[in-house]
A = this chain, B = another copy of it.
Amino acid sequence: MFGFDDRIQFRNTKNDILTVGELLIDMISTEYGDHSEGNTYTKLFGGSPSNIALNVKKLGINSLVASAVGEDGLGSFLIDQLRNADIDTNGVQRTDYSTSMVVITKSKSSPVPIFYRGADYQLAFTPVLEEYLIRSKIVHFSSWPISMMPVRHTIEKVIEKARENEVLIGFDPNYHPMIWQKGEDGIEYVKSIIGKVDIIKPSEDDAERLFGKDTNENQVKKFLEYGAKLVILTLGKDGAIVSNGVETIKYSTLATDVVDTTGAGDAFWSGFYTAIIKGYTIREALALGFAVSAYQLKFTGAIVDLPKLEILQERYGL
């Protein structure tokens, strides 16, 4: 059980967090989306776990990534970006599939991403991946790698090995039917994973996609019934509800001005993970996660030049 005033005791390992899964290109339109020939798009480093790996480094802990990119220029670009951030790139596998990409045309209503999945779902469970996992305190993944074969097998092995080696497992249940293998029920599979991980952070939308519409309290209850140990249900501007199955806490948002919500969830994860590694209690770490998220919301884009966690702690009076 995760007592809110407990500090998590980690094994003494060389690395802090390993993120497994999508490392990809975000191709984002510079204009708002009409259908004109000649519209331009900006190429950006992307993939939620990869963003977390970059973020936590800035906040003050170590990270490794295990991902697959293509033997192509976009794959080389992504690897260069990791290298520039001083992250070991030996965990990035090259495959003969194209580097995965998400194309987003900005829209005044809700932008609809288009998914181009190639290399990312070819990630194999290699000896390097296993070694990275064993020398990490936390492993994190999202719904991307469980949504397709063969990488789903890799995640299943990651979960098994993480359990054996007491590596804490964080899971982002950002299920979306568009990324899932055609003709397969992704919802049932995501539900089957919930009980196998330690910490889960659904958004309201994630919860609704998995369980249908319901009150926030009931949604939290459902994740707990499926075996989740710590559920962090984020509610956008309305903060979050967190439960360990015994106690439930509500958090108000710390965000004062919201410029762009891109990457806010990853910023939360980054602050939370950094804080539990640094020995803060769960309660403190949650507050620090929301502080990093609030900071991120003031800027545009998924990658923001985050300061050290302690600076944000002071800035938000935590």
Contact = CB atoms under 8 A, between A and B. Distances in A.
Nearest to A99: B114
A252 interface: no
A74 B98 contact: no
Contacts of A282: none
Nearest to A107: B73
Interface in A60-107: 70, 72-74, 76-77, 80-81, 96, 98-99, 101, 103, 105
A192 interface: no
A262 interface: no
Interface residues of A, number: 33
A33 interface: yes
Q: How many copies does the complex hold?
A: 2
Interface stretch (A39-47, A147-155, A242-250): A39-47
A42 B42 contact: no
A306 to B, nearest CB: 16
B33 A43 contact: no
A27 B105 CA distance: 13
Given A98-B116, A114-B99, A118-B116, A44 B40 contact: no
Contacts of A315: none
A108 interface: no
A81 B73 CA distance: 29
A112 B72 contact: yes
A114 B40 contact: no
Contact of A38 (B42, B76, B118): B42
7 contacts: A35-B77, A37-B45, A70-B114, A72-B112, A72-B114, A73-B105, A116-B116
The 5 closest A-B pairs by CB, nearest first: A35-B77, A116-B116, A40-B40, A72-B114, A41-B41
